[in-house]
Amino acid sequence: GQNIDQPTEMTATEGAIVQINCTYQTSGFNGLFWYQQHAGEAPTFLSYNVLDGLEEKGRFSSFLSRSKGYSYLLLKELQMKDSASYLCAVRHGGPLGGGGNKLTFGTGTQLKVEL
Amino acid sequence: DTGVSQDPRHKITKRGQNVTFRCDPISEHNRLYWYRQTLGQGPEFLTYFQNEAQLEKSRLLSDRFSAERPKGSFSTLEIQRTEQGDSAMYLCASSSPSGTPQSRGRAARNQPQHFGDGTRLSIL
């Protein structure tokens, strides 16, 4: 089965750096995605890791350790508009092989950025 | 706007009624997914199409739920005899393989899913 854990809530200060952790247990890991979701809106893609290491994309970076079943999303120079839910999602092998396609999401981390 | 579009945005209906939602994916995307999301939870996978073929269905998808993608473009999700527990946001996402035919398999797995704004279903 699939199990994904991430903190429910975090609070940080504008301009600061925040790290959102995600641990997972899955059969057939095939990549980890981070999405941002504002209330009432669609999840929007932030980053993707399939190999170990750090992927950097502007103010956002994501890290993966497959051996530890661990990822984090790093947000730098926080802005008020970064207040949102951050969803960790694992893609795993499907029944037809070829890598599969469905995503299993964590419950999301609600980030609140304060002045 | 060339993103994923869903219709309607909101649907309120009485318990026991049938409802149908529509999803129009990004035009060049051949993969289409349906998810369900309740308050405070992440999206849960329901089903997935590659072109017109429905390749995977979650155990969450009871026999009251049916999804189609007849021409490999837009998709519909129908819920028959709705129940209170069906109240949720129904999200559609699409993705596409890219790259050369030789690399398409690997490249396909790297393509993120792009989500629509969802249809919020409320059962009275």
Grade residue A1 by pLDDT with cuts at 50, 70 and 90.
Answer: low
Query: Which residue in A has a C-alpha nearest to residue B91's C-alpha?
Result: A42
For residue B55, the chain A residues in CB contact (below 8 A) are 94, 96, 101
Please report the pLDDT score of residue B96 as a whole number. Answer: 83
H or E stretch at B107: helix B104-110
Chains A–B, number of C-beta pairs less than 8 Å apart: 67
Contacts with B108 from chain A: Cβ below 8 Å: 99
Place of tokens 């839910």: A85
Name the interface residues of A facing B (CB cutoff 8 Å): 4, 30-31, 33, 35, 41-45, 48, 50, 87, 89, 91, 94-96, 98-99, 101-108
CA dist B28 and B97 (Å) reads 9
Q: Report which of B88, B95, B92 is spatially closest to residue B115, judged by C-alpha positions.
A: B92
B4 reaches A (C-beta below 8 A) = yes
- Residues A63 and A53 sit within 8 Å (Cβ to Cβ): yes
Token reading at B30: 């051949």
CA A58 to mean position of chain CA atoms: 16
Closest CA–CA distance from residue B109 to any residue of chain A (Å): 7
Q: Which residues lie closer than 8 Å to A106 by C-beta, 6 or more apart?
A: A4, A5, A6, A22, A24, A87, A88, A89, B42
**Cβ contact B51:B73 at 8 Å:** no
- How distant is the Cα of B29 from the closest Cα of chain A, in angstroms? 13
**In the structure, what pLDDT confidence band is assigned to residue A28 with cuts at 50, 70 and 90?**
confident
Which residue in this structure is represented by tokens 């969803």? A87
| Segments in chain B below pLDDT 70 | 1, 97-110
Backbone angles phi and psi of B108, in degrees to 5: -60, -40
Side-chain half-sphere exposure of B70, counting CA atoms within 13 A: 3
Tell me which residue in B4, B108, B117 faces A41 most closely, judged by beta carbons. Answer: B117
- pLDDT value of residue B99: 42
Mean pLDDT of chain B: 88
Nearest to B45 by CA among A14, A56, A102: A102
Question: A83 with A25: CB under 8 angstroms?
Answer: no
Q: What is the pLDDT of residues A46-103, one digit of tens each?
A: 999 989 999 998 999 999 999 999 999 999 999 999 999 999 999 976 544 444 578 9
Round to whole Å and give the CA distance between B92 and B45. Answer: 10
